[in-house]
Amino acid sequence: MNPTSFNENEALQLIEQMINRAQQKMHDNGMYWLLWGVLVFVSALTDYVLLTQFTYEKHALVWAILMPLGGLISFLMGWKDSQKKKLEAKTYVDELMGYVVTAFTISLLIICLIMPMTGTNWKSFFPVIMVVYALVTYISGGILQVKPLRMGSFVNWICAIVAFFFQYDIQLLLLATAVLGGFIIPGILQNKAYRAAHV
């Protein structure tokens, strides 16, 4: 066997192993996709119902309750996962995903914390959030070779484009649709696919 082709084959096998390992981690952490997808989905629909059906003045309060709760649950889940994985070797794909998650978190915090301080037109808030969701799902789906995530990113982009032309109440429905297609369904499909492949 040609040494060059042998090395290329070894390299391809190594890359495949790293992707499989990252996909394993995504399965382990698939609860994060589902957790945040469900929390945003429930928050958006609750906000919509309180606003349109009950005309409740503090309709957006649901976000202030569920988002910090999600942050706390994510922190506890992350701490528990980190204790289990301390002895595991870190791969290049792990590092890439770490950068993606960090960039996503910082971008989301800037939008959610700084945007309200500037008096920016709130009509752009949810569409911009959906664009960020689309970026993280597209890049993550590409790195991990998870097609449902990549497809979910297009759901977010489409919902974001449409949302720019509508008011807050309709944007809430579009946001619920975006996380359903971009986080919840891909998370469930990936979980099922992983289980089927590892029976």
Please report the pLDDT score of residue 28 as a whole number: 53
Q: How far apart are CA 50 and CA 6, in angstroms?
A: 63
pLDDT at residue 113 greater than cutoff 60? yes
For the residues 156-179, what does the mean pLDDT come to? Answer: 97
Q: Which tops the pLDDT comparison, 172 or 77?
A: 172
As a whole-number percent, the residues of the chain with pLDDT over 90 amount to: 53
For the residues 173-190, what does the mean pLDDT come to? Answer: 94
Q: How far apart are CA 163 and CA 181, in angstroms?
A: 15
Please report the pLDDT score of residue 86 as a whole number: 66
* 138-152 confidence digits (pLDDT tens): 999 998 888 899 999
Cβ(39)–Cβ(62) under 8 Å? no
Q: How far apart are CA 179 and CA 152, in angstroms?
A: 8
* 23-57 confidence digits (pLDDT tens): 665 555 577 889 999 999 999 999 999 999 999 99
As a whole-number percent, the residues of the chain with pLDDT over 70 amount to: 85
**Domains contained in the chain, number:** 1
Cβ(62)–Cβ(46) under 8 Å? yes
Domain range for residue 36?
Answer: 3-197
Q: Tell me how far apart the 2 most distant CA atoms of the chain are, in Å.
A: 74
pLDDT at residue 22 greater than cutoff 70? no
Predicted confidence band at 6 (pLDDT cuts at 50, 70, 90)? Answer: low
Please report the pLDDT score of residue 117 as a whole number: 81
pTM of the model: 0.84
Please report the pLDDT score of residue 184 as a whole number: 95
Report the b/e string of 32-54 with b at 16+ CB within 10 A.
Answer: bbbbbbbbbbebbebbbebbeee
Q: How far apart are CA 164 and CA 142, in angstroms?
A: 27
Q: Which tops the pLDDT comparison, 96 or 66?
A: 66
Candidates 151, 130, 167; CA nearest to 41 is 130
Q: How far apart are CA 17 and CA 74, in angstroms?
A: 27
pLDDT at residue 158 greater than cutoff 50? yes
Query: How deeply is 166 buried, as exposed, middle or buried, from its count of CB atoms within 10 A (0-12, 13-18, 19+)?
Result: middle
